[in-house]
Structure 1
Amino acid sequence: MVRLKSVFRMAVSRFHIDLALCFAVLCVAVAIIEQNQAMPRPLLAAVAVCSSAGMAFIWRDISSKIKSENRTLSSLLSQYVAGKAIGWLGRRQRKKLEADTVNVKRVQEETLLMRLRKHADTCYGKQYDFSLIKDCHDFRARHPVTTYEHYKELIRRIAAGEEKVIIAEKPLILAMTSGTSGSSAMLLSTKDTNTEFFLQGVTVCVDAMQQAFPASNSLQRTTKFFYTPILRQSEAGIPIGPNSSTPASSRHMLNLYTTPAPAFEVKSEKDTLYLHLLFALKDPTVGTLESNFASTIFYAFSALQERWQELVEDIEQGKVSSALDLDPTVRARLEALMKPDPERAAQLRVHFQDGFQGIGRRLWPYLHLVLAVDSGSNQIYGEMLRENYCEGVPFYSPFYAATEGLIGVNLWPLESSRRYLLCPRSMFCEFVPENSLDEEQPHTLLMDEVKEGCSYELVITNASGLFRYRIGDVVKVVGFRNQCPIVEFQYRRGQMLSVRGEKISEHLFLGALKKAVAQWPGAQLVDYCCAESGILGDSIGGSDPHYQVFIELKGVRNLTEEQRYKLDICLQQDSAVYKSFRIKGSIGPMRVQLVAHGAFKELSKQMMASSNTSPNTFKMHRVLRKKEYADFLLQKTVS
C-alpha cells in the first residue's frame, strides 16, 4: 500500500485532480487483488469507469498538443509520460534549488563534507586526511589549490586498473576535455556527476524553459544534432572519450527526436549530419533545434545550404542518398522509414529557392526554440544564427557546464544576457580574485564572500575526484539569488593574448573585432582565432611581437590595409594597456589574414582528431597554442 500511496501522490502533483481520483480508485482495486479478496461489483464498475476516464483525460491532453499526423500512439504516449515525469522532477528540483540559495554557506559545507567522507578511504583521501576535516576552512588549510598536473599521474593509475586512488568507485568513463586552454585533459566521470547534471541541471532548465516557452510543452519532436563519439579503451577496459551518451541509449528518449535510432550508429560526422537534416526536413512540425553548442547548429545550417537539393530529392523519392557510406544493415533500416513524399519535397524546394534568410521558421512553421549554449566562444555562432538562418526564433542557453560537471543554470530564458545561477549542491566553489590569477596558491573566497561586479576564476571541488581545482574559467558576479551568486562567463585564462604581459581576454578581443567588422562594408564575421607571433617562428619573418589574426568572412573577398589596421585601432580604443604598448613600439601592429571559406571547419576537424574530442563537446580555440594550427590557417589565406 505504501507504493500505491506514492503513485497517488505523484498523480496529484504530476497530472490533474480528475486523473488522480481515477488513480485512487484503481489503486484500491489493485490492493484488493493483491490480498486475494473478491472485488465488489460497484468497485468493478468504478474501475471500468476510471480506466476509461483516465485514458480519456490523457488522450484529450495529448490531442491538444499534437501538431503532426504521422506519429504512432505509442510514441506520443511515451513522449507525454516522459514530459510529465521530467516536468514534475523539474518543479521539485527547482524548489530545492531555491531553498538552497537561502543558506548557501551551510549547503556548500554539507556538499563538501559529503564528498570528502565518500572518498576518505582512498589513497588520496588518506594523504590529505579527509576523515579529519571538519569544515570549509579546515579543508582549505589542508589541501592546496590544484591544476591538472596534480592529477595526471593519479588518473593514469586509474586508467591502468588501480582502484581507490582518488575516488571510491570505478569511473564510468575517462572523459577527454576539448583542450581549448592547451592540451586535452583526461578527467574522471562518475555516476554521481551524471546524476547531478540531470537532476540539478536538465530538469531545472526544462522547468524554466516550459514556463518561458509554453509551446515547448507540446508533443512536437526535437531535432538534436548529436554525433556518436568513437571511444577507445584504457588498459583496464575503461572507456576513453568525450563525456556524452547517445540519445539512442534510451528507447524512450528517441521518441523525443526526429532522428531515428539507426542514424546514431553511423560513425561519420558528415553522414550523420546528413541524416539529422533528412529526417528533420521530413517533419514540418519540428518544435526545437537542440545541440550542446550553437556552433554545431550553425554548421548544420551551412551544410543544409550546400546539400539541400540532394536532401529534397531523397524526400521526394523516399530514399537515402547513395553518397552516404553506410553499413548495409543500417541503410536498410533507414530506408524502411522513408516513403516518397513529393508534396513535402515541393514545399521544401519553394522555401530553399526563396533564400536562406529566416529559413528555420519557413521550413518548420512551429519552430519555437533553439536550445544550445551560445555564450563564451559560441557567442558569434549564436549571433549569426539569430541574424540569418534562425531569424525570429528564441534562443535558450540552459547550462553553464564543463567536462568537470554542472556549474550553473540559466533561470532567465527570455533575457538576452546569459546569466547562470551557481548550483550549490553540484560543486563546492571557491573564487580567485582577478588580480590574483597569476599566483600559484592564491587566497580564495567562498560563495557568501564574493561581491557583485567583481570577476573571479572558479576553483571547484566536484563529485569525481577534483579537489580545489582551477578550471580556468573567469566569471563575473552580476547578482545574487538570496545568498547564491549569479555569474556571467567572461573568458578562459588559457585563451588570453599576451606578448608583453598585456593580457587581452577573448571577451575584450571579440568586442574590438565586431566593431571593426561593422566598419567593413558588406562583411559578416563567420569565425576567427588569433596566435601570438612567438609560436610562428620564421614563417612570418622578423618583426616586433604582435598578434596574428585569422578571419573568415562572408560578403568580402579582400581586405585593404586600411581595413586591417582598423582592427588594431579598435583594440587600442578598448584596451589602454594594449594602446600603451603600441605607442611605445614594444608591440607591433597586428597582422590580419582573411582565410578561405570552410577553413575553420577543416581546422576544427584537425583539432578534434588530435584531442580525442567530438563535435558534441568541441569549442573553437580562440587563441592558438600550436604552430601546426597557425601554419594550417596561413596556408588557407586568400588575402
Structure 2
Amino acid sequence: MSSFRAVVLIFLSATSAAVAILVQTEALPRPPAVAAAVVSLCSLMGVSLLLRDIRSKVRGEGRTLGSLLGQYAALKAVGWLGKWQRAKLEADTLNVRKAQEETLLSRLRKNEHTLYGKRFDFASIKDSDTFRSHHPITTYEHYRDLVGRVASGEERVLTAEKPLVLAMTSGTSGPSAMLLSTKDTNSDFFLQGVAVCLDTMRRAFPATDSLQRTTKFFYTPTFRQSEAGIPIGPNSSTPASSRHMLHLYTTPPPAFQVASEKDALYLHLLFALKDPSVGTLESNFASTVYYAFSTLQERWQELTEDVECGTVSGTLHLEPHVRAELEALTRPDPERAAQLRADFGAGFRGIAGRLWPRLNLILAVDSGSNQIYGEMLRDNCCSGIPFYSPFYAATEGLIGVNLWPEETSRRYLLCPRSMFCEFLPESLLEDEAAATAATLLMEDVKVGQNYELVVTNAAGLFRYRIGDVVKVVGFHHQCPIVEFQYRRSQMLNVRGEKLSEALFLDALKEAVVQWPPARLLDYCCAESGIMGNCVGSCDPHYQVFLELSGVRNLSEEQRHKLDVCLQRASAVYRSFRIKGSIGPPRVQLVGRGAFAELRQRMMSSSLTSANTFKMQRVLRRKEDARFLLARTVS
C-alpha cells in the first residue's frame, strides 16, 4: 500500500471518530455514517495541507501516525464545535431575558406530562413570572421521596427521560443528596461548558493548540445499583467510556480500569513521566493535582526506576490482564530516567516545568475550597505554569464558564441556556418569608451585591436552592459575571456571627504570614458545639485544625494572631469577642498527612469519588473533628 493511500485511510478513520464525538453530543445529526462520509470526502481534498499542518504543530515523541491523525481530527472537530457554541453564547448574552425564558419554558414543556409536571400544572405556565408565582422555592427535602420513587423504577416522575445516573453530591453542604443526572444535563455540560472553555483556552493559550498529549488525573468511580438498576454514584464518567478520546491522554486505556485511587495515581504519574512532551495537566479540581504532586514527591525514586527498567511496580495491586497489558506498553528508557533523576535532584520548586519542558497549562478548578491548593501549586511545584479554572459547576449541572483565564480572580459568566437562574439577596437569607418572595432574575441583579443561587435545571429540580452564595462582579453584555463566595452550610456560626469560608481563609492566611517560616498546607474548623467535652472549656469557640510546613510548634502568641486577624476581618465577630460571648479560637497543629487521611476517611464513608471530592472547611460530624484532634501534635 502506498504511503499516501495509508495516510488517506488513517485520516478517514480518524475523521469518522471525530464525527462520532460530535454526533454523540448531538452537535451533528444522525446517522453518523452520512455525516462522516461528507466530512471525509471534503477532507480528502486537503490531505497534503493536513500533513503540513500536523508537521507544524508541537507533538509528543514516539507517536504513531494514526494516533496523531486521530488527535488532529478530534481537535479540529471540537475546535469547530467550540467556536460555534461560543458564538451562540455571545448571542444569548445580548438578550439574556429571551434566552432564560426559552430555557425555562423548554424544560416545563418537556416535563409537563410527568407526575411532577401535572402536580404543578406545567402545561398552563406560559412565562417565568407565572412559574415563579405558582411554584415554591425548594430544597432537597422537597424531592427526597420523589427521587426514591425514581430509584425504585417508577418512570416519568420528575423527568420525561430516564436518568443516566443517580448522582451523589459531594457532601460539602452536609449529608450527600441523590440527584438525577440526565442526557440533557450531560449534553449541556459538554456543549455549553467543555466546548466553550476549550475554545477560550486556545484563544488565551495558543500553545495548547498542539498535538501534545494531556495527563488527566481521573479515578474510576464506584457505583452501586438502585432497585431498578440505575447506577448510583458520583456524577463523573470515566474517559474510558469514550474510546474516541483516549489517544489524547498519556495514561493508556487499561489504567482507567484500575479501581484503587492510589494505584491509578501511580500509573498516571508513571506514563506521564515517560513522556517529556506532555502539554497539559488536567483534573476536575486543583486538590487532585496537589495530591498527585505530593505522591510524586514521596515515590519519585520508585517511579524513576520503573521508567529506567521498563517495568510496572510490583507494589501495585493490579488484575493480571491489566498488568500484562500495561507492561506490554513499557520499554526501558535509561536516558529519560537519568534526566528525571537530575530534575528531581534540583528540588521540587518548579518541578513541573523541568519534568515537562513543553508544559503549557494546568487545567483544573482552583476557586472555592480548592483555592489554597491552587495557590500552593503555583508557589511551589507548578511555579511559572499558567492555570485555567474553566467551570463553575455542581452536581446540579453547569452554572458558569470562565472566559477570562489569564486573570487571577476566578470569574464565571453564567450560562443562560444551562439553567434558569434566580437570585436571593444575601441580606434576606435569614428571613425565609422575605427571601422566597424576593427572587431576582439575571437582568435585575446589581454589581457588588451577593446572592444565593436558585436554579431550575434539566434534571427535575425546579426553583432549587443550591446553597451557593455568589457575588456579581460585572456583566458581559446583559449576562451577569459572578465570583463564588461561600456555601451557606460552610459558615462558622456559634453566636450568630456567620463567618464565611472566604472571610475565614483570608484572616487565616494573614495570620500565617506572621508565623515565618510556616506555610499553610490545609485547614478546617469545627464549632465547639459538636466537640462535646473533649476540648475542655465550654465557652462557644472555633476549633481550628491546621497542617503546616516549616514549623513543628506554635506559641500562644502565634495562635493569638489568628484571633486578632479574625477580629479585624469581621466587626460582628469582634463585638462578640469583646463582650466575651465567643471565646478565642483553639488552634491545633496536626501532623503531616492528617488531611490526606481525613480525605480518604470521608470518601470511604460515602459514594463521593476522588474526582468530585471537596474538603469540608467546616466539619459537621463529631467523628471527623475528633479524628483530627487525635492527630494533634501541638
Q: TM-score range by the shorter chain?
A: over 0.9
Find the aligned partners of 1:582 and 1:98 in 2 and give their Cα distance.
49
Partner of 2:28: none
Aligned: 1:106 with 2:98 = yes
Residue 199, structure 1, aligned to residue 194, structure 2: no
Are the counterparts in 1 of residues 61 and 275 from structure 2 also a CA contact under 8 Å?
no
Residue type matched to 2:159 in 1?
I
Structure 2: distance between partners of 1:344 and 1:83: 28
Q: In 2 relative to 1, CA 570–51 (structure 1 residues): closer, same or farther, beyond 3 Å?
A: closer
Q: Distance in 2 between matches of 1:606 and 1:445?
A: 40
Q: Cα offset for 1:373? A: 0.3
State the partner residue of 1:305. Answer: 297
Say yes or no: does 1:215 pair with 2:207: yes
CA distance in 1, matches of 2:126, 2:59: 56
Tell me what 1:73 maps to.
Answer: 65
| Matches of 2:363 and 2:188, distance apart in 1 | 20
1:482-521 correspondence runs (5 A) = 482-521=477-516
CA shift in 2, pair 1:51/1:194, >3 Å: closer
Counterpart in 1 of 2:280?
A: 288
Picking from 452, 470, 473, the partner of 1:475 is 470
Aligned: 1:239 with 2:231: yes
Question: What's the counterpart of residue 633 of structure 1?
Answer: 628
Q: Which residue of 2 aligns with 1:465?
A: 460
Indicate yes or no: 2:87 matched with 1:95: yes
Counterpart of 2:582 in 1: which secondary structure? coil
Tell me, which stretches of 5 or more residues in structure 2 are unaligned?
A: 1-14, 23-33
Q: Is 1:453 matched with 2:448? A: yes
Deviation of 1:541 (Å): 1.9
Q: Hey, what does 1:262 align to over in structure 2?
A: 254
> Alpha carbons of 1:93 and 1:53: their partners in 2 closer, same or farther (altered >3 Å)?
closer
Provide the C-alpha distance between the structure 1 equivalents of 2:340 and 2:96, rounded to a whole number of angstroms: 52
* Structure 1 residue identity aligned to 2:49: F
State whether structure 2 residue 588 is matched by structure 1 residue 596. no
Q: Contact 2:140/2:177 (CA < 8 Å) preserved in 1? A: yes
Partner of 1:390 in structure 2?
A: 382
* TM-superposition CA deviations, 1:263-294 (whole Å, max 9, x none): 01000000000000000000000000000000
Whole-angstrom CA distance in 1 between matches of 2:534 and 2:526: 13
Question: Which residue of 1 is the match for residue 558 of structure 2?
Answer: 563
SS in 1 for 2:432: coil
Q: Tell me what 2:31 maps to.
A: none
Runs of 4+ that moved beyond 3 A: 50-53
Q: Return the match for 2:269 from 277, 287, 291.
A: 277
Separation in structure 1 between the aligned mates of residue 165 and residue 88 of structure 2, nearest angstrom:
29
How far apart are 1:53 and its partner, in Å?
A: 6.0
Structure 1 residue aligned with 2:112: 120
Residue 51 (structure 1) shift:
8.0
In structure 2, the CA distance between the partners of 1:206 and 1:542, relative to structure 1 (3 Å rule), is: same
1:413 to 405, 416, 419: 405
CA distance in 1, matches of 2:377, 2:61: 29
Hey, what does 1:17 align to over in structure 2? none
Pairs within 5 Å for 1:595-634: 595-634=590-629
- Tell me the matched-pair count: 598
Aligned match of 2:30? none
- Conserved in 2, the CA contact under 8 Å of 1:432 and 1:459? yes
Cα distance in 1 between the residues matched to 2:394 and 2:539: 37
Q: Does 2:548 align with 1:553?
A: yes
- 2:176 is aligned, of 170, 176, 184, to 184
Tell me if the contact between 1:294 and 1:382 (Cα under 8 Å) persists in the aligned partners. Answer: yes
Q: Select 2:47's aligned residue among 43, 52, 55.
A: 55
TM-align CA RMSD = 1.6
Q: Distance in 1 between matches of 2:432 and 2:585?
A: 31
Distance in 1, matches of 2:277 and 2:232, equals 37
Once the two structures are aligned, what percentage of the paired residues are identical?
73
What amino acid is the match of 2:470?
Answer: V
Give, in angstroms, the shift of residue 52 of structure 1: 7.4
Deviations 1:177-231 (A, max 9, x none): 1000100110000000000000000000000000000011000000000000011
Shift of 1:609: 1.7
State the secondary structure of the residue aligned to 2:524: strand
Structure 2 partner of 1:132: 124
- Matched residue, 1:535: 530
What are the Cα deviations for residues 353-412 of structure 1, in whole angstroms up to 9, with x where unaligned?
Answer: 110000000000000100000000000000000000000000000000000000000000
Counterpart residue number, 2:165: 173
Q: Which amino acid aligns with 2:475?
A: F
Provide, for residues 417-454 of structure 1, a one-character-per-residue CA deviation record: whole Å limited to 9, x for no partner: 10000000000000000011123352200001000110
How many angstroms apart in 2 are the aligned matches of 1:562 and 1:489?
Answer: 33
State the distance in 2 between where 1:526 and 1:107 align. 43
Larger radius of gyration: 1
Instruction: Assess if the C-alpha contact under 8 Å between 1:528 and 1:552 holds in 2.
Output: yes
Distance 1:583 1:164 in 2: 57
The answer on whether the counterparts of 1:529 and 1:624 sit within 8 Å (CA) in structure 2 is: yes
Question: Partner residue of 1:20?
Answer: none
Q: Normalising by the residue count of structure 2, what TM-score does the alignment of the two structures yield?
A: 0.93
Q: Is 2:331 the counterpart of 1:339? A: yes
Correspondence for 2:141? 149
Residue deviations 1:219-256, cap 9 Å, x none?
A: 00000000000110000000000011111112221111
Q: Which residue of 1 aligns with 2:6?
A: none
Q: Report the CA distance between 1:611 and its aligned residue.
A: 2.2
Once the two structures are superposed, residues 319-350 of structure 1 have per-residue CA deviations (whole angstroms, 9 ceiling, x without a partner) of 00000000000000000000000000000000
1:54, 1:483 → 2: CA distance? 41
Q: For 1:420 and 1:521, how far apart are their aligned partners in 2? A: 35
Alpha-carbon distance between aligned partners in 1 of 2:381 and 2:431, rounded to the nearest angstrom: 45
After superposition, the C-alpha distances for 1:40-60 in whole angstroms (9 at most, x for unaligned) are xxxxxxx9xx98762211111
- What amino acid is aligned across from residue 572 of structure 1 in structure 2? Q
Q: Distance in 2 between matches of 1:602 and 1:108?
A: 44
The normalised TM-score by structure 1 is 0.92
Look up the equivalent residue of 1:506 and give its one-letter code: E
Contact in 1 for aligned 2:105/2:126 (Cα 8 Å): yes
C-alpha distance after superposition, 1:34-81 (max 9, x if no partner): xxxxxxxxxxxxx9xx98762211111111113333001111111100
1:381 aligned to 2:373?
yes
**Counterparts of 1:159 and 1:78, CA distance in 2:** 39
